Amino acid sequence: MNMLFHHHSIESLAFDNRFTRELPADPQTDNLRRQVHGACYSRVMPTRVAAPRLVAFSREVGELLDLTDATCLSPDFTEVFVGNKVLPGMDPMAMCYGGHQFGSWAGQLGDGRAINLGEIVNNSKERWTLQLKGAGPTPYSRRADGLAVLRSSIREFLCSEAMFHLGIPTTRALSVITTGELVERDMFYDGHPKDEPGAVVCRVSPSFLRFGNFEILAARGETALLQQLVDYTIRTDFPELGSPSPATYNKWFAEICRTTAAMIIHWMRVGFVHGVMNTDNMSILGLTIDYGPYGWLEDFSPDWTPNTTDAHGRRYSFNNQPHIGQWNLLQLANAIYPLVGRVEPLQEALTEYNEVFLNGWNLMMAGKLGFTSFEKSTDDTIIKELVEILPLIETDMTIFFRKLATLPTSLQVAATDPLPKPLLDAYYQPEQLTEKYTATMNRWLKTYLSRAQKDKGSKQERRQRMNRTNPKYVLRNYLAQLAIDKAEAGDYALVGELLDLLRNPYDEQPKKEHFAAKRPEWARNRAGCSMLSCSS
């Protein structure tokens, strides 16, 4: 009995820190802000905190690490994953990387708020890196304090897990723990700072490497180290591509183009807007990484961005995400060009990104509409028209597609009819439903339903397909904010309730209908419910 418990205890995590073992470290060991040359990371210890308290943990991520619920609820767990206790075998460090921020090269950025504790290998032989976010300053913190506040930590924790259960490639979150200390933050950068509760999130991913890890080495002309890092990445995370060589580098880049396109198609499917797609926030594994000022499209408004810093340029708006994905890949291509020496294969992969994206988009939209396949002759127009109609008046994207699945394909719709009743739930301001809009939408519905009726599948299959593609529950911005408000007052119940809700986002969950409702009017312009800053 004791043996069994020990196997799942926190001390039994098997660390195998390949990154720090195989790649060069910053020779300087004191934790001073600096430019770090000739190294991939700096060793750094988390900062101790006064009175940590567990807010929530993800059972599924615990299982990935072979940790039981009992272990995750133990005082030891809280001490380790807030950064107070460093286990034998851990080798804490912060990574060196650069990045393009809002389209401009920003030079060295690095993990200014994140500390990797180490990499474990679980019982299934999978490699997982454990990373604390908000555990104190690192050499890359520039002028910042390296800490995080509870509001941003809850948002990152809930969204990481929500995205996973939606079937979207993402880094994971093991836990969120308050520090018992206050952190000063100016939420809107408007000169009104206030003290907020501090917190630490433990993020989990096979790798936290970003495009920017490669860009910084290329920008500094550290080509030998660039090659060492690329070779390491291929051997560790892409062994199926074969041993490192220029031909393998090309295959590797093409693979990153494909996974990045696939990830962004998923974002578009559920109405997720990342908000800050800088190249240092792009994962080499095609995972959603860095949940900062993200948001969910409630009103289907293609040029919406959740990021206050981007309100003017809207570079990272919903509609721009596919284009920015490719722009970011172009920066990565420029970085690895010295190892490849030929432009053509990199150019081919970037062109293939467009094809992968377009084909994936068409298939995804056909799925959202319940078709068994994409038929170009009819569906091109059906999709294009719908995407033009939805923004005309304020329409809840999640509710619209979910309700569309309830309409029988035999429904007869005339232009002069009122809209079918189920769809009315999707409109924020029904008084905006003019005769002209109603006629336009009804004409579209008529075409759509007749196409759906010709489809091979049964009625039931159509509805099932739509309900597997169109979630009923997403982490609406106002729901996250309600959970944060309660947690800041010491009540963590809603965080747990939302985590549980979002485990099954495609299911009806009859007792939880209220979480599927459209955004309430009070949340329209409230901080945290509509726009967010990068301040966390």
4 has pLDDT over 50: no
Catalytic residue, from 280, 310, 396, 455: name it: 280
User: pLDDT band at 266, cuts 50/70/90?
Assistant: very high
* Angstrom distance (rounded) from CA 45 to CA 43: 7
Q: What integer is the mean pLDDT of 334-339?
A: 98
pLDDT at 528: 78
Share of the chain above pLDDT 90, in %: 91
Share of the chain above pLDDT 70, in %: 97
* Angstrom distance (rounded) from CA 456 to CA 172: 38
User: What's the Cα-to-Cα distance from 357 to each of 75, 249, 263, 354, rounded to whole Å?
Assistant: 46, 22, 10, 5
77-93 pLDDT, tens digit each: 999 999 999 999 999 99
Q: DSSP per residue over 385-429, as a string?
A: HHHHHGGGS-BBHHHHHHHHTTS-TT----TTSPPPHHHHTTBS-
35-71 pLDDT, tens digit each: 999 999 999 999 999 999 999 999 999 999 999 999 9
352-362 pLDDT, tens digit each: 999 999 999 99
pLDDT at 54: 98
User: What's the Cα-to-Cα distance from 185 to each of 53, 144, 190, rounded to whole Å?
Assistant: 21, 11, 11
138 has pLDDT over 60: yes
pLDDT at 6: 42
Do 361 and 265 form a contact (C-beta atoms < 8 A)?
yes
User: pLDDT band at 2, cuts 50/70/90?
Assistant: very low
Whole-number mean pLDDT of the chain?
95
- Helix, strand, coil share of the chain (percent; to 5): 45, 15, 40
Q: 188: how many CB neighbours lie within 10 A of its CB?
A: 13
User: pLDDT band at 3, cuts 50/70/90?
Assistant: very low
Residues facing 56 on adjacent strands? 176
Q: What integer is the mean pLDDT of 214-222?
A: 98
13-27 pLDDT, tens digit each: 999 999 999 999 999
| Pairing status of strand 104-108 against strand 98-101 | antiparallel
Element (H, E) at 359: helix 343-368
pLDDT at 533: 64
pLDDT at 318: 97
370-423 pLDDT, tens digit each: 999 999 999 999 999 999 999 999 999 999 999 999 999 999 999 999 999 999
Residue type at 114 in one-letter notation: A
123 has pLDDT over 50: yes
429-466 pLDDT, tens digit each: 999 999 999 999 999 999 999 999 999 888 899 999 99
Q: 221: how many CB neighbours lie within 10 A of its CB?
A: 10
Q: Hey, where are the domains in the chain?
A: 2-211, 234-367, 373-454, 477-523
- Active-site residue flag, 280: yes
pLDDT at 146: 95
Is pTM beyond 0.85? Reply is yes
500 has pLDDT over 60: yes
User: pLDDT band at 8, cuts 50/70/90?
Assistant: low
Residues facing 401 on adjacent strands? none
7 has pLDDT over 70: no
Burial of 160 (0-12, 13-18, 19+ CB in 10 A): buried
Do 328 and 100 form a contact (C-beta atoms < 8 A)?
yes
Q: What integer is the mean pLDDT of 294-313?
A: 92
503 has pLDDT over 60: yes
* Angstrom distance (rounded) from CA 289 to CA 163: 11
Q: What integer is the mean pLDDT of 472-486?
A: 96
